[in-house]
Amino acid sequence: MLSQITPVILTYNEAANIGRSLERLVWAREVVIVDSGSTDDTLAIAARFPNVRTVQRPFDTHAQQWRFAVEEAGVASDWVLRLDCDYMVEPALRDEIAALVPAAETAAYEIAFTYCIEGRPLRASLYPALPVLFRRGKGRFVQDGHTEKLRIDGPVVKLRHRLLHDDRKSLERWLQSQSRYQAIEAEKLSTRPWSELGWADRLRRTRVLGPPAVAVHCLLVKGLVFDGTAGLLYTAQRVTADVILSMHLLRRDLDR
C-alpha cells in the first residue's frame, strides 16, 4: 500500500516542524510540498530529503491551496496522505497503513490524533479525527472558517493507530496566527445561521460562555488537569483562542 500513496504537505515558514515530519516519510516514493513563499529554512530543510518535490504557489485560502496540491501539483498515485507540517507518522501507523488492502468502495481512512505539547503527548485534546488518507478523486476541499474541510465521497474506514500532532513553533507565532484565524472564525459565526452551528460554536457565539466552557471541558472532561504543565498549557492555548474569538465578535458588535 505504501507505494500507492503520495504524502502531500502545505508549508509556510515551518522550519520548526518540517524536518521531523519528513524524517518519518522516507518510505514514500515521493512527498509533494506546496509552499506559500517561506522565508525561513523550510525549503532548505526539505531539499535535504531526496524523495521530496517542492512546488511554489501564493496562498489564497486553505481549500484552494489543497485543491491545487492534490489536483494540479503532479500527484500521480491513487492515494493521498494529507498532512500538516506538525503531523508525525509514527512507525505503528506506518505499518498499519502498509498492511491495508482497501476495498474497491473505500474512499478514505480516518485517523485520530495524539496531541503533543513540546513533544509531550496529552491523554486527550479537542483535535478531531480526520480523513487524512483518501483516494484521489474521492475528496473535495471546502473552506470552513479559517481552515478547510475535506468532504469524502464514499465509505470512510477508521484506523486504529494515531498521528502525532506536535507543533514546535514559538508562542509568539501561535498568538499571531490565532489573531488572524479567530477574525475569520468570527466572520463565520456572525454570518452563519444558528441552526447550522454545532453546540460548541453556539456557546462561542454567546461571546462569554466559550472560554470558561473550554476550560472546564479540557481540564475536567478531557482530564488534562492530570497532564501537568503540558495539559495546563494546552488548556491555556484553547482558552486564549476562544478569548481572542470573543474579542473579535465583540469588536464586530461595536463596529455595527
**Residue pLDDT, tens place only, 172-230:** 999 999 999 999 999 999 999 999 999 999 999 999 999 999 999 999 999 999 999 99
3-state secondary structure of 28: coil
CATH code for residues 2-165:
3.90.550.10
Residue 61 — φ and ψ, nearest 5°?
Answer: -135, 160
Q: State the residue for C-alpha cell 509514527.
A: 90
Closest CA to 55 of 75, 35, 84, 39: 35
Residue 181, CA distances (Å) to 20, 244, 253 in order? 25, 9, 18
Question: What is the average pLDDT across 67-96?
Answer: 97
- Domain layout of the chain by residue ranges: 2-165, 171-255
- Confidence bin at 27 (pLDDT 50/70/90): very high
Is the pLDDT assigned to residue 1 strictly greater than 90? yes
DSSP 138: S
Q: Which residues pair with 131 in a beta bridge?
A: 110
- Mention every residue, 6+ apart, whose C-beta is less than 8 A from residue 248: 182, 183, 185, 186
Radius of gyration of the chain measured on its C-alpha atoms: 19
Q: Tens digit of pLDDT for each residue in 108-159?
A: 999 999 999 999 999 999 999 999 999 999 999 999 999 999 999 999 999 9
Q: From CA 73, how far away is CA 57, in angstroms rounded? A: 10
Q: State the residue for C-alpha cell 459565526.
A: 189
Residue 151 · residue 142 · CB < 8 Å: yes
3-state secondary structure of 111: strand
> Residue 256: its pLDDT value, please?
86
Burial class (CB in 10 A: 0-12, 13-18, 19+), 127: middle
> Residue 36: its pLDDT value, please?
97
Is the pLDDT assigned to residue 234 strictly greater than 90? yes
Dihedral of alpha carbons 115, 164, 147, 130, sign: negative
